[in-house]
């Protein structure tokens, strides 16, 4: 097949400012991945093309890039799947991270977030003579987060990091869950306290992008929801994030729809005038664009079918952590 690659190039040493797109056409066998095609370009056509890879088998996590706008491991992405009719394939570096050259990003940002959650076991007390033993059952829920290969695809796709670089982000939070849920770790309380702060678990908007792009099924957003549940169960309920989900679940379970003004009041408290004014302005702008349902008055009436909605929350109390 003919591979048509459209690659975003950037050379910090070039006099040209910014990046540009460069097209490459090469003949490749049908089984070629995007990485195979890029390497063929580099070997036979343009040795100046910078990219990062190692295992070529979806293990090392070093080849994450953006393919046709989607964060992907290029060693796992077949050319035939993304361009079945030989159309151009747009290959760009990962988003949300500084580009060093062409398709290579600076991973300092990524590792800084991971380091911030202290990604190592912290047992207290006497060290055991042999190994730390944990039962198989107690480790089962760690299998998914332990599958993370630290490729950064979720960080590239995170819509919160796009607007707020302080957010810990999906990879670091999934890693945090891995240690919070580990029965051999004794710092659970401190870990949860720190994740409960601003830039932690409550800043996730549940857009599902990290779940969608993760090549290993780690589902970072689900792990963030697990952490929220652990935080509430540990009694840390007096934060805007925790109050937000309690209010959201309470009003939806009761009336079948969200009571936005009450949500803002419960989240920020009646005396936080600045935040309430801020939310009121946001509500006004949303209403003006037709994205907020008009209320019939100052009250929040029960909707038809509210009982059925209430039953969902009763049957699955964890549903509120998705609020």
61 binds ligand FES (CB under 6 A): yes
Q: How far is the CB of 171 from ligand FES (least distance, A)?
A: 15
Q: Which stretch binds ligand FES (CB under 6 A): 57-65, 164-172, 268-276, 307-315?
A: 57-65
Site for ligand FES in 66-105 (CB under 6 A): 73, 75
Q: Which stretch binds ligand FES (CB under 6 A): 49-57, 200-208, 230-238, 252-260?
A: 49-57
Q: Which stretch binds ligand FES (CB under 6 A): 18-26, 47-55, 120-128, 311-319?
A: 47-55
Q: How far is the CB of 163 from ligand FES (least distance, A)?
A: 28
Q: How far is the CB of 124 from ligand FES (least distance, A)?
A: 36
The whole-angstrom separation of Cα 82 and Cα 212 is 16
Q: How far is the CB of 73 from ligand FES (least distance, A)?
A: 5
Nearer to ligand FES, 75 or 214 (CB): 75
Which residues contact residue 67 at a Cβ distance below 8 angstroms, ignoring those fewer than 6 apart? 34, 74, 77, 82, 89, 90, 91
Using the structure block, give the residue that is written with the tokens 């959201």: 248
The whole-angstrom separation of Cα 111 and Cα 150 is 9
CA 120 to chain centre: 21
245 binds ligand FES (CB under 6 A): no
Q: Is 73 helix (H, G, I), strand (E, B) or coil?
A: strand
Total residues in contact with ligand FES, by rule CB under 6 A: 12
- Which residue, among 14, 12, 48, 49, has the nearest Cα to 34 in the 3D structure? 49
282 binds ligand FES (CB under 6 A): no
- Which residue, among 13, 99, 102, has the nearest Cα to 50 in the 3D structure? 102
Which listed residue (59, 140, 207, 312) binds ligand FES by CB under 6 A? 59
CA 211 to chain centre: 7
The pair phi, psi for residue 241, each rounded to 5°, is -65, -45
Using the structure block, give the residue that is written with the tokens 């963030």: 224
The DSSP H or E segment spanning 72 is strand 70-73
Q: How far is the CB of 74 from ligand FES (least distance, A)?
A: 7
CA 163 to chain centre: 13
Which listed residue (60, 88, 116, 236) binds ligand FES by CB under 6 A? 60
Q: How far is the CB of 78 from ligand FES (least distance, A)?
A: 13
Name the site residues for ligand FES (rule: CB under 6 A): 53-56, 58-63, 73, 75
């Amino acid at each position: 097949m003919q591979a048509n690659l459209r690659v975003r190039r950037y050379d910090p040493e070039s006099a040209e400012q910014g990046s540009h797109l460069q097209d490459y056409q090469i003949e490749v066998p049908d089984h070629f991945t995007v990485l195979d095609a890029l390497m063929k370009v580099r070997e036979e056509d343009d040795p100046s093309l910078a990219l990062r890879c190692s295992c070529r088998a979806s293990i090392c996590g070093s080849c994450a890039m953006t393919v046709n706008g989607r964060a992907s491991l290029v060693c796992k992405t077949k050319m035939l799947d993304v361009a079945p009719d030989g159309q151009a394939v747009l290959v760009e570096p990962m988003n949300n991270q500084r580009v060093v050259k062409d398709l290579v990003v600076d991973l300092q940002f990524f590792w800084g977030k991971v380091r911030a959650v202290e990604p190592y076991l912290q047992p207290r007390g006497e060290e055991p003579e042999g190994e730390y033993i944990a039962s198989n059952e107690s480790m089962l829920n760690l299998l998914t987060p332990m599958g993370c290969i630290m490729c950064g695809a979720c960080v590239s796709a995170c819509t919160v990091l796009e607007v707020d670089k302080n957010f810990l982000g999906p990879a670091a939070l999934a890693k945090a869950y891995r240690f919070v849920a580990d029965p051999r770790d004794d710092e659970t309380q401190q870990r949860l306290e720190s994740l409960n702060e601003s830039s932690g678990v409550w800043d996730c908007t549940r857009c599902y992008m990290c779940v969608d792009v993760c090549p290993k099924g780690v589902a970072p957003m689900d792990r963030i929801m697990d952490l929220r549940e652990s935080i509430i169960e540990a009694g840390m309920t007096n934060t805007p994030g925790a109050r937000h989900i309690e209010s959201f679940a309470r009003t939806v379970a009761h009336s079948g729809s969200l009571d936005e003004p009450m949500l803002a009041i419960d989240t920020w408290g009646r005396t936080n005038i600045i935040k309430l004014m801020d939310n009121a302005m946001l509500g006004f702008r949303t209403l003006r664009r037709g994205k907020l349902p008009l209320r019939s008055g100052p009250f929040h009436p029960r909707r038809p079918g509210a009982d059925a909605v209430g039953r969902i929350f009763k049957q699955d109390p964890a549903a509120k952590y998705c609020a």
